[in-house]
Amino acid sequence: MSGLARVATISVHTSPLEQPGTGDAGGMNVYIVEVAKRMAERGVEVDVFTRHTSRALPPVVELVPGVSVRHVAAGPFEDLDKSELPGHMCAFTSELLRIEAARDPGHYDIIHSHYWLSGQAGWAARQRWGVPLVHSMHTLAKVKNTSLATGDTPEPLGRVLGEQQVVDCADRLVANTAEEARELASLYDADPGQVATVAPGADLSRFTPQDGARRRLGLPENAVVLLFVGRIQPLKAPDVLIRAAARMLEDDPGLRDRLVVAVVGGPSGSGRSRPEELRSLAARLCVLDVVRFEPPCPQDELADWYRAADVTVIPSHSESFGLVAVESQACGTPVVAASVGGLRIAVRDGRSGVLIDGHDPADYARVLHGLIGTPGRLRAMSDAAVRHAGGFGWDATADRLLEVYAEAVEARTMAVSA
């Protein structure tokens, strides 16, 4: 369809083999896996280059036919914080170039790098291989630094400068939303003509409405289930849900016998240094008895958590898109989310969920209590959520990316021949 044969995908700091929901693994991991699978279905081979983090892993792992994960030796065989990775980028880039040098020239048609660290390696590979570089930021330092949670750590100047370098050298930039495209232009002086907006999606064959989820998860059928899915860190603000639950029980003590607040995820980012902080908060607020902490889980089990919930709550301070919101809605569960970034696109305010300005737990408590108190409205939102999520599928994402790749290859070919 696209005329492309092979894509080199670069994901330095997190591997598509890792379980999303803890450490640095999240929506970007899901994005890379799902897009790569669909590219392979369309006859395009994808090699994903990522840092080698375990001696137990072989140099190459076949994810599915046509998609290989290639482990690049750079630094110690252990999990490093992202702040430590810039010191190993020379080693990663050198090894990446060495691996490709063993192949015939022109093995890859295009490079797609994800997150700014990968863009640094992609920048060097673009020059050496003579192929276009397409880059997805996923998050932007300048945006994150304007919406920090209390006590969170600002993104360093080195990242800001690194992002600017990638913007300046990439042939195409991929934004998740029109808002992100505008931010790339206004904050990083990106050429709007070089920015393509490509919405991420959800696996609409896996995330579907289905009965029996509460029984499978051991939840009472009459429970009121509020769900948080994601990495436990200040940016994602799971504390807002815990505080909102405490407020709801203050206002309605009779709810305690039925309320379940499920938190599915593991520590990440600055949350790694305080892994028990959320549990301690729940204890201080006297709601530990209604909070159920669950580790990150495979997607089939995650789909059951969405189905079992009455509402999924996403109080993030910043989200480039919000895959959790789309996955939840695809399962028929409305979303209450912060009105930030891509969540304004992922959630249809007032129809498939409710968007809230700010992060005041009282506002979340009021909205959540109102929804669970009006079952008819919740059912209508559930139906609308499935319809809304139906517009976000990974097939459409992959097809649009292939168009972007083809445009970048054509533009580079014309520039070289001019």
Question: pLDDT value at position 152?
Answer: 84
Q: Which residues pair with 70 in a beta bridge?
A: 49, 60
Question: pLDDT value at position 274?
Answer: 60
Question: pLDDT value at position 368?
Answer: 98
Distance CA 58, CA 71 (A): 8
The strand pair at 224-229 and 259-264 is best described as: parallel
Beta-strand ranges (E) seen in 351-402 are 353-356
Question: pLDDT value at position 2?
Answer: 58
* Residue pair 47/53 in contact by the 8 Å Cβ criterion: no
The strand pair at 311-314 and 110-114 is best described as: unpaired
Which residue positions form the known binding site for UDP-N-acetyl-alpha-D-glucosamine?
19-20, 27, 231, 236, 319, 327
* Residue pair 337/322 in contact by the 8 Å Cβ criterion: yes
* Residue pair 66/40 in contact by the 8 Å Cβ criterion: yes
Which residue positions form the known binding site for 1D-myo-inositol 3-phosphate?
13, 24-29, 82, 115, 139, 159
Task: List the 110-114 sheet strands across, edge first.
Answer: 60-64, 67-72, 45-51, 6-10, 110-114, 133-136, 172-175, 195-197
* Residue pair 88/74 in contact by the 8 Å Cβ criterion: yes
Which residue positions form the known binding site?
13, 19-20, 24-29, 82, 115, 139, 159, 231, 236, 306-307, 309, 319, 327, 333
* Residue pair 123/111 in contact by the 8 Å Cβ criterion: no
Provide Rg for the chain, Cα atoms: 22
User: What does the block give as tokens for 262?
Assistant: 């499920």
Report the amino acid identity of residue 38.
R
Would you write out the chain's pLDDT as a tens digit for each of its 418 residues? 457 999 999 999 888 888 877 677 788 999 999 999 999 999 999 999 999 988 889 999 999 999 999 999 998 877 677 788 888 999 999 999 998 888 887 899 999 999 999 999 999 999 999 999 999 999 999 999 998 888 788 999 999 999 999 999 999 999 999 999 999 999 999 999 999 999 999 999 999 999 999 999 999 999 999 999 999 989 999 999 999 999 999 999 999 999 999 999 988 655 454 668 999 999 999 999 999 999 999 999 999 999 999 999 999 999 989 999 999 999 999 999 999 999 999 999 999 999 999 999 999 999 999 999 999 999 999 999 999 999 999 999 999 999 999 999 999 988 887 6
Q: Which residues pair with 195 in a beta bridge?
A: 173
Three-state secondary structure call for residue 329: helix
| Of 317, 352, 348, 357, the residue nearest 333 (C-alpha) | 352
Question: pLDDT value at position 1?
Answer: 45
Question: pLDDT value at position 148?
Answer: 84
Instruction: Report the chain's terminal Cα–Cα distance, integer Å.
Output: 26
Q: Classify residue 16 by burial, with Cβ atoms within 10 Å: 0-12, 13-18, 19+.
A: buried
Count the neighbouring beta carbons within 10 Å of the beta carbon of residue 144: 19
Which residue positions form the known binding site for Mg(2+)?
306-307, 309, 333
Four-residue CA torsion sign, 301, 306, 310, 314: positive
- Where on the phi/psi map is residue 267: left (φ > 0), alpha (ψ -120 to 50), or beta? beta
* Residue pair 182/173 in contact by the 8 Å Cβ criterion: no
